Amino acid sequence: MPLGTLDRRAPSFFRQGPSALSQLVLYSALALFLMVADARFQVAEPLRRVVATVLYPAQWAMLQPVALVSRAADYFESVQEAQIEADAARKQLAVLAQRAHQTDQLAQENDRLRGLLDLRERLQVLAQAAQILYDTADPYSRRVMVDRGQDAGVQPGSPVLDGAGIVGQVTRVYPLVSEVTLLTDREQAIPVLNGRTGARGVAYGDPVASHGGGIELRFVSANADVQQGDPLLTSGLDGVYPPGVPVARVVRVERRADSAFARIYCEPAAALQSTRHVLLLQPVAVQLPQRPEPEPAEPAVRKKVRK
């Protein structure tokens, strides 16, 4: 066969298409076009939903072992926590039962002693619930407004407390609302009793305390037995607060050689900044007998001087 008659072209099976660079440019442009179109017109959203629906059973089946292991771990962890909480609850219940039994015995002994000494019965203080509405506009005071006023029978001087202790005292009463001065106000003072030693004192508001407002126990001698952590309770001697209600806890005691009194800083027992619901008590002085009026002074009799 003559050489000029041979077909020198490559067979169709080995023919090459566009170059690699051309394919890269083409597919990159197509991908960029699809991304822009999907971002603008959501053209791939139906396809995405179809793919997600088709793959969901496979995804669910693959995630089941992980979910089973996680649920099993949570179950055993919750069982262990429940056992620990149950043990702690049983111990606390035993302690509370013992305290309740002791309280009943002390109450019976108290009643017998009062009967023997012919003392007055313990005062029953009336209370009503109230909600704190807002703080007053004065930035230099610690006062709040509650939603009870004269129509609810609120009286000036009524003690205010929450579930933890004394909050303050009603200082102004309006027809529908009342103003409550908190314990941390600089003009507020309350007679207290040290729950550990039984020593009496007077606590004053300290709004500029380093811990965001607190109480200072003043006029206590430097050698007085006051320690950090001592609880302060209402003494009930002022005729306003009922006795035995928590007021504060001693957090720091400073004794200086150049001063005869100690600086005692206390933290209020009540949550003054976060509480929303309080109790308004009737002043104790309402139930106490009136003080006798002072007897008029007898005029001095002048003696006649004989000349």
Whole-number pLDDT of residue 241: 86
Whole-number pLDDT of residue 66: 86
Whole-number pLDDT of residue 45: 82
Identify the residue whose tokens are 């909050």. 167
Whole-number pLDDT of residue 232: 93
DSSP of 216-282, one letter per residue? EEES-BTTS---TT-EEEE---SSSSPTT-EEEEEEEEE--TT-SB-EEEEEESS-TTT--EEEEEP
**Domain segments of the chain as ranges:** 21-117, 127-286
To the question of pTM greater than 0.75 for the whole model, the response is: no
C-alpha closest to that of 136 among 97, 108, 99, 178: 178
Residues of the chain falling short of pLDDT 70? 1-17, 114, 116-125, 209-213, 285-292, 297-307
Quote the tokens at residue 166. Answer: 């004394």
CATH no. for 127-286? 2.40.10.340
Whole-number pLDDT of residue 177: 92
pLDDT digits (tens, 9 = 90+) for 16-51: 667 788 888 888 988 888 888 878 888 778 888 888
Q: Which residues face 203 on adjacent strands? A: 190, 217
